Structure 1
Amino acid sequence: MKMSETIAELAKALAAAQAEIENASKASVNPHFKNRYADLAEILNTSRPVLSKHGLSIVQMPFFSEGKVGVETVLMHESGQWIANELLGPCVKQDPQGVGSAITYYRRYSLAAFAGIAQEDDDANTASGKSQPPAPQYISKAQVERLDEILLGCHMNTVKRFEQDYPDMTKITADVYGSIVSSLESAARKYQERKNQEDAA
């Protein structure tokens, strides 16, 4: 942390401001983790009017260093006194959205720390690359029955391989159903063609 030669006036004003600042309301919902959190805008709305009332202001600037992203937060007092701190960390996704999420995360946590505000996580999950995978979509009962129907026309070896690969047809996901149907229909068609040739002979 860096600061001006003296911060007596700033410390007095900050103590008065923190006595009035309430914790930010958790009005937003993380779409992946379903938890409620106070976003950056809410923390700014909660802290900025009170800080300004006591002659305090905040400046936050993003910066980059050796592939990492960071934010420098400067708390200034009308007397000219100031304190500053840098928060630097990794950025998992090196694209505009990933960098933006990391910057928002660092801004929010730095501002909350300066203002003495308690709040839950929000962009932490995005900035760290954590997300919950979507729930698998399994095939319907009608689609299971369709597979059974196709298998009746397949050679027993094809049926055995299918049962080894998919011991529970109700757990087959919708994204692979189409390719499975195409493969089985092709196998059934070839099997029937061979049978017809053998019968003709």
Structure 2
Amino acid sequence: MNNIAKAFVAAKREFAPALKTSTNPHFKSKYADLAGCLEAVNEALLNQGIALLQETSEDATGVTVETVFMHESGETIRGGKLHVPASKQDPQGYGSALTYARRYSVMAACGIAAEDDDGNAASRKAPTVDVSTYVSSINGCENLEDLKAKFAIAITACGTDLQAKAKVIAAKDARKADL
């Protein structure tokens, strides 16, 4: 467990919040969809040599999902099984239960929460971490290895400041695209 434990901790430092970008038409509320949850963690996990798998099984009343992390060394961490009953006993009911289970399983296994990307987030106070130096450092990276190292330093410096993290992640993504 030494390899995957170290790699998972390093990846966790880079996890982003799952943004609430989808709207539930029945309740007129926003939520983080499955794609947003996976987007918040996949790149960080892969950067550390970890693949995220979701094992699924069905039963007479719904679906069960377990998020599994597999390190390139062959070591694995299992996130525990989550059962979600299907609201209807038809393909749509099972599909909905599966998506719901996968979304909540990955959020629980990764320890991430859904975060608003609307007015609530915008109305928070300005970032307390000045990331301009880190962003400049990221923008000056000449290769992906340098980018990875400087991003790790910058994201750690952001602490719990989500706005600062978002700026650092945006700078990293832009520089990575250029490289």
> What is the alpha-carbon distance in structure 1 between the residues aligned to residue 113 and residue 66 of structure 2?
20
Q: Which residue of 2 aligns with 1:37?
A: 31
Among candidates 90, 94, 97, match of residue 89 of structure 2? 94
* Deviation per residue, 1:65-113 (Å, 9 max, x gap): 3433111221111111102222123222111111001000110111112
1:112 aligns with 2:123: no
Look up the SS of the partner of 2:28 in the other structure: coil
Look up the SS of the partner of 2:81 in the other structure: strand
* Structure 2: gaps spanning 5 or more residues: 116-179
Q: Are the structure 2 counterparts of residues 106 and 8 from structure 1 closer, same or farther at C-alpha, using a change threshold of 3 Å?
A: same
Higher Cα radius of gyration: 1
Q: Could you tell me how far 1:11 is from its partner in structure 2?
A: 1.4
Identity %: 49
Look up the SS of the partner of 2:114 in the other structure: coil
Report runs of 4+ in structure 1 exceeding 4 Å deviation: none
> What is the alpha-carbon distance in structure 1 between the residues aligned to residue 22 and residue 54 of structure 2?
22
Q: Which residue of 2 aligns with 1:67?
A: 61
Contact 2:62 2:97 in 1 (8 A): no
Contact 2:63 2:86 in 1 (8 A): yes
How many residue pairs end up in the alignment? 114
Once the two structures are overlaid, the 10-residue window that deviates more, 83-92 or 47-56, is: 83-92
Look up the SS of the partner of 2:13 in the other structure: helix
- Give me the TM-score of the superposition, normalised by structure 1: 0.53
**Structure 2 residue identity aligned to 1:111:** V
**Within-5 A mapping of 1:147-166:** none
> What is the alpha-carbon distance in structure 2 between the residues aligned to residue 102 and residue 74 of structure 1?
19
Q: Could you tell me how far 1:28 is from its partner in structure 2?
A: 1.0
* Deviation per residue, 1:51-70 (Å, 9 max, x gap): 00011111113212343311
> What is the alpha-carbon distance in structure 2 between the residues aligned to residue 41 and residue 116 of structure 1?
16
Look up the SS of the partner of 2:83 in the other structure: strand
Among candidates 37, 40, 43, match of residue 46 of structure 1? 40
Higher share of residues assigned strand = 2
Q: Which residue of 1 aligns with 2:150?
A: none
* Deviation per residue, 1:123-160 (Å, 9 max, x gap): xxxxxxxxxxxxxxxxxxxxxxxxxxxxxxxxxxxxxx
Contact 1:10 1:82 in 2 (8 A): yes
- Give me the TM-score of the superposition, normalised by structure 2: 0.59
